[in-house]
Chains A and B, each alone.
Chain A
Amino acid sequence: MQLLAGRKTRTEHPEFEGRGAALQGPLLSLRNVSRRFVTSRHNTTALDDVSLDINAGEFVCVVGPSGCGKSTLLNLVAGLDRPTAGEMLFDGRPLKGAAADRVVVFQEAALYPWLNVRANVEFGLKMKHVSGSKRRELVDQYLELVNLSGFQKAFVHELSGGMKQRVQLARALAVEPRMLLMDEPFAALDAQTRDVLQAELQEIWQRTGSTILFITHNVREAALLGDRVIVMTPSPGRFKSEIPVPLKRPRDPDTHAVVDFAAEIRTQLQHDEYPVRAKDSGYVI
């Protein structure tokens, strides 16, 4: 309920209306969603009674320690998995299965090594049966957006980790999805590359007006990128709190505002991980 109240205040801001702004309600709406995994040995509740609304044009980050159900949440929204309880609405209609209106950028390179960069970006468009000339146009446009125009003919194994993630981003954006789902996309990169890609993602988000659900375990990243940050706790996976990020854009990861905000998020996380110590000791960030 607390989460829903938070949403209402955000919909009043017109600057959050991006692509697909025509609809009235939220773009994505989860109502009391749970996902339990039942095996012969034991049952796990990966997600327990979770509710969430995401409006068109919003950038929502989900942070939490590993095993808190972040990836389960993303898989449900992507349509790769089904909830065991609750209701999921996308664009006002029940969410059923995977479709190109919700596209995932994976942590590891989920690119196709036998295709060159261009053909990889083209992949989603081919699945949608987009015509050849239209495909060429879109691929050019999105390769330029991720600064990879010079690498069209390169093969995946010739690219660095950061470049691979840019190809993934271009491939996802090329199908012009209603919502972009990012599953710790920068977690496997080195710090410098991550900084560059975070800045580029901010810029791309502002330019395209995409709606993004961004999963991460990096609190600084969440503070840097999100309009709102949702903090999750593990076993069972629950939403602990939702923190609006009131900072102006574009944000710089080294400014005090972002660092302080990251500290606040970390406090929320630490309460849970070390409940006793958190009470009687100050936090060191």
Chain B
Amino acid sequence: MSSDSVTIGADASPSPLLTLAGKPVAFVRSKFWLFVRITIFYAGLLALWQLLYNMEIWSPYLFPSPREVWDELWQYYENGLLQDSIRETMRRMFIGYTIAFVAGTLIGIACGAMRWVDETLGSLVLGLQSLPSIAWIPLAILWYGLGDQAIIFVVFMGSVCAIAISARDGVRNIPPLQQRAARVFGASGWQTIRYVTFPGMLPSMAQGMKLGWSFSWRSLMAGELIVGGTIGVGGLLQTGRDLNKMELVIATMLVIVAIGLIVDRLFFGPMESWVRHRWGLSQT
């Protein structure tokens, strides 16, 4: 109050929890209050869920309580099936995504560097990008049977196009001046690729890798559901349906969301922002 006597209007207000004249007060924008708001929202959602359960609009086997879902999740954790499923799912994801990363990067660089490759293979990649990867499942089953390989194939098809397109754009967007500078210093073709093309395409690649991951993750769930097998997170979902266990179905869905969020927020998100910062592309 006494420290700054010239404050007028909204800034002079002593109630920090409110927004005034549409402008949020600094207090509301802080990390702590963000956390509080999010917590209140989800606690409210949970309470609503419990309330609907208590009202018994739907039969309990179709609409379990939060508590039942939690217990189911805990049981699968205790008997180890949850961990095995996650491990199996992540293994498929890792193999499919790694192959897609290598193949997509190579295809993208070829498209970015050579016009005729872009006009031929590049157009095919762009076309296939519009095909939802779940549409590959019948083909994958016929080729590889109901097994691991079919699922990995679908994961691969889910991300290879996105990664290839971003790699191509990354190569295309390298300023010509940077390549000319390399030529001026007598860089060989391979040196230019290694010291200019690879690092120069990274910001675009980081975006494509993130996008490819989320496509692959969706394909993987679809693949596991349809191709079947009891191991794997998608398999767990299918088991829940087969056993008519809504608790397990919802618990597994929550696990899928959690894994997706964790990988995105803890790996791809920081990677992308690090690259953008280091390459001087971020505004702040």
Binds B, one of A46-54, A96-104, A136-144, A253-261: A96-104
Q: Which of B35-43, B106-114, B181-189 contacts A (4 or more CB under 8 A)?
A: B181-189
Interface residues of B: mostly helix, strand, loop or mixed? helix
Interface contact A104-B199, CB-CB below 8 Å: no
Which residues of B sit under 8 angstroms from A155, Cβ to Cβ? 278, 280
Contacts of A106 in B (CB 8 A): 177, 180-181
When distances are taken between beta carbons in the complex, the residues of chain A under 8 Å from B184 are 78, 80, 98, 100, 102-104
Closest A-B pairs by Cβ, 5 of them:
A157-B280, A124-B185, A110-B181, A100-B186, A110-B177
Q: Is A103 a contact partner of B280 (Cβ separation < 8 A)?
A: no
Q: Is A284 part of the contact surface with B, judged by Cβ < 8 Å? A: no
A100 to B199, CA, bound (A): 22
Let me know if A76 is at the binding interface, CB within 8 A.
no
Chain A count of residues within 8 A CB distance of the other chain? 26
Is B196 at the interface (CB under 8 A from chain A)?
A: yes
CB pair B202–A98 under 8 Å, yes or no, is no
Q: Which residues of B contact A157 (CB under 8 A)?
A: 280
Contacts of B200 in A (CB 8 A): 112, 114
**Known A-B contacts A110-B181, A112-B196, A123-B195; A98 and B186 likewise in contact (beta carbons under 8 Å):** yes
Query: 0/1 per residue, A90-134, Cβ < 8 Å to B?
Result: 000000001110111010101111110000000110111000000
Q: Which A154-171 residues sit within 8 Å CB-CB of chain B? A: 155-158
Count of interface residues, chain B, beta-carbon cutoff 8 Å: 21
B230 interface contact, C-beta 8 A: no
**Interface residue B279 (Cβ < 8 Å from any Cβ of A):** yes
B123 contacts chain A at the CB level, 8 A cutoff? no
Is B280 a contact of A127 with CB atoms below 8 Å?
Answer: no
Q: Does B83 contact A (CB under 8 A)?
A: no
Give the interface of B toward A (CB within 8 A).
175, 177-178, 180-188, 191, 195-196, 199-200, 202, 278-280
Alpha-carbon distance between A108 and B280 when the two chains are bound, in angstroms: 16
Q: Which residues of A lie under 8 Å from residue B178 when comparing CB positions? A: 110, 112
Determine whether the beta carbon of A114 is less than 8 Å from that of B278. yes
Residues of B within 8 A of A222 (CB): none
| Most chain B CB inside 10 Å of its own CB: which residue of A106, A113, A126, A128 | A113
Bound complex: CA of A158 vs CA of B185, how far in Å? Answer: 24
Query: Could you say which residues of chain B place their CB within 8 Å of the CB of A80?
Result: 180, 183-184
Is there a chain B Cβ closer than 8 Å to A212's Cβ? no
Distance in Å from the Cβ of A211 to the closest Cβ of chain B? 16
Of the candidates B186, B196, B202, the one whose C-beta lies within 8 Å of that of A99 is B186
Contacts of A126 in B (CB 8 A): 195
Query: Are B185 and A112 touching (Cβ within 8 A)?
Result: no
Asked if A63 is at the interface (CB within 8 A of a chain B CB), the reply is no
Cα of A205 to Cα of B29 in the assembled complex, Å: 55
Residue with the greatest number of chain B CB neighbours at <10 A, chosen from A102, A108, A127: A127
Cβ of B279 and Cβ of A123 under 8 Å apart? no
Distance, CA A156 to CA B178, complexed state (A) = 13
The reply to whether B181 and A104 contact each other, CB–CB distance below 8 Å, is yes
The docked-state distance in angstroms from the alpha carbon of A111 to that of B184 is: 12
